[in-house]
A = this chain, B = another copy of it.
Amino acid sequence: MAISLNESETGDKGEVFRDVHFPDPAHLFVTPDHYVFRMLHSQGISLESLGVPRVDGGDVETDARAIWRRFAENYHLLRGTPSRIWLDHSFETVFGWSSVLSADTADDAYDHISGCLLQDDYRPRALFERFNIELLSTTESPLDDLRWHKEIRQSGWNGRVVTAYRPDPVVDPEYEGFTENVGRFGELTGEDTTTWQGYLAAHRLRRRYFMEFGATSTDHGYPTARTESFPQAEASALFDKALAGRCTADEADAFRGQMLTEMARMSQDDGLVMQIHPGSVRNHSADVYARFGRDKGFDIPRRTDFVQALTPLLNAVGNDPNLTIILYAG
């Protein structure tokens, strides 16, 4: 089995990579799982009461047992969802607890699972082996120092964990802190990222660095499948505008589209498989975004045009039989 982990779908990667014990049932199953807490939120249960951290550091529930009880009392709301099937399966096959979770059984489940988590058999690497995981792939930003990947290498453990290159913070002019991010990108790579050529060179270097930590792919998720293939002078001018924070929404979209084509060109050279999953409108609730930050389950698929949106990229690189692009539709 090979598993791909999205940053937004995991809790603290450090826990997993340093092989520390998972803290408690609530912080394993509830607080980090945006499928679970977003469903509960839709029924009027506040994210604060489920322990989801606020952007402003404001008070949220910290008592793990209280979070777990709230979760258990409302567990019936998850009936018929993939999350419920997965949770029931995990409780039974991973932890050997096979009652139905409810207000009545909340404490029994909590105590049982907590007891397991204290055992070494339930530490991340033991589970990795028990699950017979061949490969686990994470995604990281180009600004990530990949220290967990380094630590795993240095630890002598032979589980195969690789990274993937997910460049959103430095290719999306609408990402928080884009200009600062590109500056830091320059420092990390030693390239002059204030120029278009230097910026592209930084990507090429950083992709190679990621490949040293097992990366075989890049990963790109945007609201649309738009690609562009501007002449380099135009692309360079657009980059300057993005860096100066003067892009319109349409120009920001165009720049993301240009970068998809640039990433495809780099894949022609370094062989990384390109994964594109367009069509998700992220952070749909302005209120939740303001209070809890991005990727809190408020993603909604929207209809996406592929036929015309992909034309520039396909005309630029589509004839190369050695380039692999995986397109997630829907």
Contacts and interface: CB of A to CB of B under 8 A. Distances in A.
A315 B286 CA distance: 6
Given A305-B302, A305-B303, A321 B285 contact: no
Contacts of A300: 307
Contact of A321 (B44, B286, B301, B314): B44
Interface residues of A, number: 19
Nearest to A279: B307
A287 interface: yes
A314 B302 contact: no
A264 to B, nearest CB: 15
A284 interface: yes
Contacts of A315: 285-287
Contacts of A305: 302-303
Interface in A286-330: 286-287, 300-303, 305, 307-308, 311, 314-315, 318-319, 321
Contacts of A307: 281, 284, 300-302
B314 A285 contact: yes
* Interface secondary structure of A, over-half rule: loop
Interface in A252-304: 281, 284-287, 300-303
A55 to B, nearest CB: 16
A311 B300 CA distance: 11
Contact of A302 (B284, B287, B308, B318): B308
A284 B314 contact: yes
A308 B287 contact: no
A74 B121 CA distance: 51
Contacts of A284: 307, 311, 314
A329 B281 CA distance: 19
Contacts of A318: 285, 287
A44 B44 CA distance: 54
A114 to B, nearest CB: 32
A93 B284 CA distance: 50
Nearest to A320: B44
Contacts of A308: 281, 302
A120 to B, nearest CB: 44
A303 B329 CA distance: 15
A249 B311 CA distance: 17
A300 B44 CA distance: 36
A223 to B, nearest CB: 9
A191 to B, nearest CB: 32
Given A286-B311, A287-B318, 8 more contacts: A281-B307, A284-B311, A285-B314, A285-B315, A286-B315, A287-B319, A300-B307, A303-B305
Q: Which 3 A-B pairs have CB atoms at the shortest separation, nearest pair first?
A: A44-B321, A302-B307, A286-B315
Interface of A: 44, 281, 284-287, 300-303, 305, 307-308, 311, 314-315, 318-319, 321
13 contacts: A44-B321, A281-B308, A284-B307, A284-B311, A284-B314, A285-B314, A285-B315, A285-B318, A286-B311, A287-B318, A300-B307, A303-B303, A303-B305
